[in-house]
Structure 1
Amino acid sequence: MKRLKLHGFNNLTKTLSFNIYDICYAATPSQVKEYIEYIDDAYNAERLTQILTDVANIIGANILNIAHQDYDPQGASVTMLISEEPVAAQQLSNTEAPGPLPDAVVAHLDKSHITVHTYPESHPENSISTFRVDIDVSTCGRISPLKALNYLIHSLESDIVIMDYRVRGFTRDVGGKKHYIDHKINSIQNYLARDTKNRYQMMDVNVYQENIFHTKMILKEFDLDGYLFGMEVDDMPPRQQREISERIKREMMEIFYGRNIQKGMRLM
């Protein structure tokens, strides 16, 4: 594709907001405590910093500053200031194709940032614990943060993924014409690997004229064993298995559709 000749710096701001949800059934206070401790260990500030460092490498960014914090009783945050590396940015492409997987990260915006925050929570009445990770990747330069999406999904195995991509502002070419986006995009889904598309049911809500793209995903297969913490399916009678499955599926569907579902309504 022919490169657009700009008048000065590329002033477009491209932002990817990426939310993942992990659902767990923990029946007793001790199981909830153990689950929160497990999540806090698996997604501590040190590991999240490494993930964001890999994201910076994928999108061709220099890391200027890192601030990270673990919280008591739970949760963590990392904020990373980045700037575009000119040589790497020229070699990277914004075409609609999946970015690299975790085992193929290559080490290589201007005044941009990456942030991550974790939100573990639970409710005693239904024994459901929900863990949320929010990641924002904002670039002011040529490369799009969508190239890091494939890596993030594979690094943060999750039940539900909700993504928003927005291109804001404008940049000018040498003739003075404004450009409100500098790469073609029909759907965030086009940046995802085939195995991800096979595992998740996906839905788009896009506003093309405003350069706003929204995709959400939910796992297709449901295996109760994968949602239990501190217990096994074989230790439960069939009726209890059905009741717990109903609670977990309801939680997942409510998060996916962003609304509460009436009790008694048939779930997937």
Structure 2
Amino acid sequence: MKRAAGPIRLQGFNNLTKSLSFNIYDISYARSPEARREYLEYIDEEYNSERLTRILTEVADIIGANILNLASQDYDPMGASVTVLVAEEPVQIPAPQAQVAHLDKSHLAAHTYPESDGSSGISTFRVDIDVSTCGQISPLKALNHLIRSFESEVVVIDYRVRGFTRDVDGRKHFLDHDIRSIQEFIDPEILAEYHTVDINIYQENLFHTKMMLRDLELDRFLFGDAAEDRPPDERRHIRALLEREITEIFYGKNIFG
């Protein structure tokens, strides 16, 4: 897994493709149909295509990528998508043959999926984000910004490096930086807020980290009123619903029947 010490002197362009994929979940409790509708309307407005575009533009700036093209879409009745094509170096337009090779490997994309369960009152907002780069720019630099840009109760992160690049001596390199865990690139203050699990396959350059919020402060999850406005039994019931939802999303299966 270790690469050679010092910078790698390459024959040409760095052909390694580094892809970072996020699933970020925001969970809320909205008791009445009106509150659930208001929650979905709030999410749809708070994380519309304009906001997603701003977040991805900030990501491009953080990783040092140059934006070539941007497309965005708000959906009816809810949801949004944004796709940004980027390159490591500025590209003069038009230069079609120069663009094609790395545009299919260098992009940022975000898609949102709001939903609500009328029977339990649980509402869940999911955003999927992909940051795929080639060359020396690294999507790992955007980790902290992306986590902080959303109300993140559960975060699922995948990082993989594909392809190879060749040095001046003809030797192939399948990884150009040291990594043992995605957590190495996350701010310790953020990590302290979450339970974390790693599943890594080092020999395949595959890294997987899951994060689940530690402190389930009830007011964080209530939409429409405060915890103190509810009787103790109801607060315990809501907390149990939230714990179930967050735990099942974290483990990716229905574990409570």
The corresponding residue for 1:47 is 51
| Alignment root-mean-square deviation, CA | 1.3
Q: Which residue of 2 aligns with 1:261?
A: 255
List runs of 5+ in structure 2 lacking aligned partners: 91-100
Q: Using the TM superposition, give the Cα deviation of residue 203 of structure 1 relative to its aligned residue in structure 2, in angstroms.
A: 0.8
Contact 2:25–2:151 (CA under 8 A) maintained in structure 1: no
Partner of 1:29: 33
User: What is the letter of the counterpart of residue 71 of structure 2?
Assistant: A
Q: Within 5 A, what are the aligned runs for 1:85-100?
A: 85=89
Aligned with 1:127 (options 121, 127, 132)? 121
- CA offsets per residue over residues 30-79 of structure 1, 9 Å max, x none? 11110011101110111110110010011111100000011110000000
Q: Distance in 1 between matches of 2:187 and 2:59?
A: 16
TM-score if structure 2 supplies the norm length? 0.91
Once superposed, which parts of structure 1, at least 4 consecutive aligned residues long, lie more than 6 Å away? none
Aligned to 1:259, what secondary structure does the other structure show?
Answer: coil
Q: What is residue 102 of structure 1 aligned with on the other side?
A: none
Other-structure match for 1:240:
234
Q: Does the 8 Å CA contact 1:69/1:76 hold for their aligned counterparts?
A: yes
- 8 Å CA contact 2:30–2:224 kept in 1: the answer is yes
Residue 231 of structure 1, CA deviation:
2.2
Q: Which residue matches 1:70?
A: 74
Shift of 1:235: 2.0
Give the structure 1 partner of residue 133 of structure 2: 139
2:224 is paired with a residue whose SS is coil
Residue 187 of structure 1 is matched in structure 2 by: 181
Matched, 1:160 2:154: yes
Report the counterpart of residue 200 of structure 1 in structure 2. 194
TM-score normalised per structure 1: 0.87
Fraction of identical pairs, as percent: 61
Residue segments in structure 1 that go unaligned for 5+ positions in a row: 87-108, 264-268
Deviation at 1:110, TM superposition (A): 4.2
Q: Confirm or deny: 8 A CA contact 1:110 1:141 kept in the other structure.
A: no
2:122 maps to 1:118: no
TM-superposed deviation, 1:23: 0.3
Aligned length: 241
Residue of structure 2 in register with 1:61 after alignment: 65
Q: CA deviation at 1:230?
A: 1.0
1:164-215 Cα offsets, whole Å, 9 max, x none, are 0000111111121111111000110010112101111111000000000000
Trace 1:206-217 onto structure 2 (pairs within 5 A).
Answer: 206-217=200-211
